[in-house]
Amino acid sequence: MTVTRQEQIIELFKIPRQCNVQYLYKYRSMESHELIEGLDAIFKDNSIYLSDPTSFNDPFECRPVLTIHRSQLKNYLYIRDMIRKQHPSKSKKEQDKLIKKAKLMIQDKTYQEHVYTEFIKTIGVYSLSQINNDILMWSHYSNKHKGLCIEFDASQEVILFGQALKVNYSEKYPIVNTFDIGNPKEFRKALLTKSNHWSYEQEWRILKLKNDGGFRKYYFPPELLTGIIMGALISPEYRDIILRWVSNYPTKITLYQAKINRTRYQLDIEPI
């Protein structure tokens, strides 16, 4: 029996996480009505949205160096199985014609890119951080310290945030076999590798395959939202909005205030 790409990648989520983390954090801005509405959904619906990775604004994101098998036999077997699955009603002669055509196409880098892109754009991704006091992240993702940072409980591995996987950082693009993307190792390289320039983010990612829902809204138990950190330069208006969210939330949320340290270039996160 042929193992499908989706079935192979399921093995990815059976691999133990690389280290234990109690909490993961999401930096968010409040500088527009649309952004506040998005935050409103987190507090009122207990929902987050996993995005298609091809929509990310980083042009280096999820763009590995693509290759194919050196073995002609492996390439042939992959194409044969793909054609048989996609065109089960066609005769063997018709399938053989399609296989012959596909064998020529797979040498084309543009075609390899197409195969890869068609696959990853079905995946939902939600990025979080292991740290809550990084000055650059507060500047970039929380509107220059005027926004907030949300704390989620990631200790339960079978529930949304506990399913997050750690991002690895590298000086070079990973080399990924287009036709072996179903292998957990190749999948990890493609979706969980970023440039060393981003290592300060200490990022983790929730990944959802197409069969598991892909990119869409996901709901979480309310008790997994455990804390809110208000930015060091948050306005009274935004502070009041956060306090309303917290007061109406069904479970306890611990409030923190980020404060600028006066002797070191750092943020101090203090409970309110």
Per domain, the residue ranges of the chain are 14-60+124-271, 65-120
Q: Looking at 72-143, list the stretches that DSSP marks H as alpha helix, in order from N- to C-terminal side.
A: 72-86, 92-105, 109-120, 135-141
Q: Are 193 and 175 in contact (CB under 8 A)?
A: no
Q: Given the structure tokens 């399609």, which residue do they identify?
A: 98
Which amino acid does the sequence have at 156? Q
Tens of pLDDT along 8-65?
Answer: 455 555 554 545 799 999 999 999 998 999 899 999 999 999 999 888 777 888 888 8
| pLDDT of res. 13 | 52
Question: Are β-strands 254-260 and 225-230 bridged in parallel, bridged antiparallel, or unpaired?
Answer: parallel
pTM of the predicted model over 0.75 = yes
Q: Please report the DSSP string for 5-27 in residue order.
A: HHHHHHGGGGSPPSS--SEEEEE
Which amino acid does the sequence have at 111? Y
pLDDT less than 70: residues of the chain: 1-19, 69, 71, 75
Q: Are 155 and 162 in contact (CB under 8 A)?
A: yes
CA–CA gap between residue 80 and residue 47 (Å, rounded): 41
Tokens of 58: 């980083």
End-to-end CA distance of the chain: 59
Radius of gyration of the CA atoms of the chain, in A: 22
| pLDDT of res. 12 | 54
Which amino acid does the sequence have at 200? Y
| pLDDT of res. 1 | 32
Classify the C-alpha dihedral 27-30-35-40 as positive or negative.
Answer: positive
| pLDDT of res. 15 | 52
| Residue 45 DSSP code | T
Q: Are 267 and 138 in contact (CB under 8 A)?
A: yes
Sheet of strand 225-230: strand arrangement: 165-166, 203-208, 124-129, 23-28, 148-153, 225-230, 254-260, 267-271
Give the three-class secondary structure for 183: coil
Q: Are 161 and 96 in contact (CB under 8 A)?
A: no
CA distances from 15 to 118, 119, 151, 153, 214 (A): 25, 21, 24, 20, 20
Q: Which helix (H) or strand (E) holds 125?
A: strand 124-129
Tokens of 156: 């339960």
Q: Given the structure tokens 């989706």, which residue do they identify?
A: 6
